[in-house]
Amino acid sequence: MRPGIRTGLVVTAAVLAVGGALTAWFLHHYEYRSEEVPMPPAIEARRNPYLALQRFLQRLGDTVRVHRRLPGPADLGPRDVLLLTTARYSLTPGRARTLLEWVRRGGHLVVRIRPPREPALPDPLLDPLDIEVAELERRHQDPFTLQVYDNDAPLTVHFPPGPRLITGRDPEPDWSVRDGAGTVVAEYRLGAGWLTVLAGFGFLDNDRIGKHDHAALAQRLLHLDARRGTFHLVAGEFHVPFSRRLWRAAWPALTAGLALLAAWLWARGRRFGPRLPAPGGPRRSLREHVRASGDFLWRHGQGAALLAAARRSLRNLVGRRHPGLNHLPPERLYPRLAQLAGLPPEAVREAFEAEPEGAAGFTRLVRTLETIRTKL
C-alpha cells in the first residue's frame, strides 16, 4: 500500500473516532425535550375577549354575530339571544324599554351588574328588578359545585372575585346560583322570554371558559329554549361620554368657570367714550405729487407749459446765483452758461429756445436744463 493512501486512511479513522466520541458524549449528557412557550393572543382574540365563547357556540351549531355596539331592534329576532357584556352606560330609558319588550316577546337577554365603584348612573334595565350590588369582602373565592337539573351531574365552576347580586322578592328570580359570597346568576322569566343577570362575564372570557365546567354552564345559561335563534354578542365597550361624566363630577367648578369667563368677556368688551376715528392712510411725498402733476399735464398735451416752467425756474436761479448774467442778451448768456455747465453752447441755446419733438426731445431738453442747474 502506498504511503499516501495509508496516511489518508489513518486520518479518516481518527476523524470518525473523534466524531463518534463527541456524538456519544452529547447523547449521554443531553436529551430531546419539548417545551410549550406561551404566546400572546392573536389580534382577533385581543379585540374580542369572548372569542372562545363564540367558537364554542359555533361548534354547537349556533349562529353567532359579534357587534361593537348595541344592535338595533330590526337586528333582533323573537328567539334570539343577546349577550350584553358592556356596562350599558349609553343605554337610554327608551332603548331599555325596547329591549324589555323584545324579551317579553320571546327574546333572551344576558347582562351583568355594575360594580359599586363604577359611576352611580341609573340602570333602566335592572333598576325595576330590585337588584342590589354588594362588593366582596374576600378577594379570593374557591370553586364550587352546582347541579342544574336533578338528573344531571354537578358542575364545578369558579366565579372571579368581584361584586355579587342581592336579589329582592319583587320580582323573585326563577332560578339563581350562589357561591360563598352571594348570588352570581339570577334568571327572570319575563313574558315569553328570559332575562339572565350575571355577577360578571369573567368566567366566560378567553382565559377561563376552558377551565372547570364553565363551558357547560354557559350552554345551560344560553340554551334555555331549544328553539334558539341567532346569538348576538356585544363585545365592544361603550362608556359614558366624557362631557357627561365631567359635568356630573364637577358641575359646580364648571359653572363657576363659565361665569368667570362670561365676566371676563364682558369686562374686555366694555368701552369708555366714543370710538376713535380710523387712522388715515399714509401721506404721499412731495416728489410723488410733482410726478403725478407732470404725468397729468403731459397726457393732456401741456408739454410746452412744463418746459416753459422749467426754463423760468432756471432763469430765476441764474439771477440769484449770478446776478450779472441774468441781464446779458442770449448770444452772450448761452456761451457763459455753457462754460459753467461744461456743455456745448449750441446745446444750451437749444435747451432755452428749441421746441420739444415728442417725449424723447422733451426729455433731452429738460435733462440739459437740469445739468445747467446742478452746475451753477
Q: Rounded to an integer, what distance in angstroms lies between the CA atom of residue 110 and that of residue 103? A: 10
The answer on 345 and 203 residing in a single domain is no
This prediction's pTM: 0.53
Domain count, the chain: 2
Give the per-residue pLDDT at 357: 77
**DSSP H helical segments within the chain, as ranges?**
3-29, 43-47, 51-59, 93-104, 214-222, 242-269, 286-299, 303-321, 330-341, 345-353, 358-375
Domain that holds residue 51: 43-239
Helices (runs of H) and strands (runs of E) counted in the chain: 11, 11
Residues facing residue 233 across a β-bridge: 66, 83
The answer on 229 and 105 residing in a single domain is yes
Residues 6+ apart with CB under 8 A from 60: 219, 223
* Tens of pLDDT, residue by residue, the chain (376 residues): 566 677 777 778 888 888 888 888 888 888 878 887 776 666 676 777 888 888 888 888 888 888 877 888 788 888 889 988 887 777 788 888 888 899 898 889 998 887 776 556 677 888 777 777 777 665 667 777 777 765 567 888 888 777 777 776 667 788 888 777 778 888 888 888 888 888 888 888 888 888 888 888 888 888 876 667 888 988 765 455 667 667 777 888 989 999 999 988 888 776 667 777 777 767 777 777 777 777 777 777 777 887 788 888 888 888 888 877 777 888 888 888 888 888 888 888 888 878 877 778 888 888 888 888 887 7
The answer as to whether 164 is a domain residue is yes
Are 154 and 168 in contact, with CB atoms under 8 Å apart? no
The answer as to whether 108 is a domain residue is yes
Give the per-residue pLDDT at 77: 86
Are 163 and 199 in contact, with CB atoms under 8 Å apart? yes
The answer as to whether 254 is a domain residue is no
3-state secondary structure of 347: helix
The answer on 111 and 174 residing in a single domain is yes
The answer as to whether 22 is a domain residue is no
Q: Rounded to an integer, what distance in angstroms lies between the CA atom of residue 354 and that of residue 303? A: 13
Are 45 and 209 in contact, with CB atoms under 8 Å apart? no
Give the per-residue pLDDT at 140: 62
Give the per-residue pLDDT at 238: 47
Q: Rounded to an integer, what distance in angstroms lies between the CA atom of residue 188 and that of residue 170? A: 11
User: What stretches of 120-273 adopt beta strand conformation (E)?
Assistant: 131-134, 144-146, 155-157, 164-167, 175-178, 183-190, 193-198, 231-234
Residues 6+ apart with CB under 8 A from 70: 84, 86, 90, 91, 95, 234, 238
Q: Rounded to an integer, what distance in angstroms lies between the CA atom of residue 33 and that of residue 46? A: 31
The answer as to whether 235 is a domain residue is yes
Give the per-residue pLDDT at 221: 82
Q: Rounded to an integer, what distance in angstroms lies between the CA atom of residue 100 and that of residue 194? A: 10
The answer on 150 and 68 residing in a single domain is yes
Residue 104's CB is within 10 A of a number of other CB atoms, namely 14
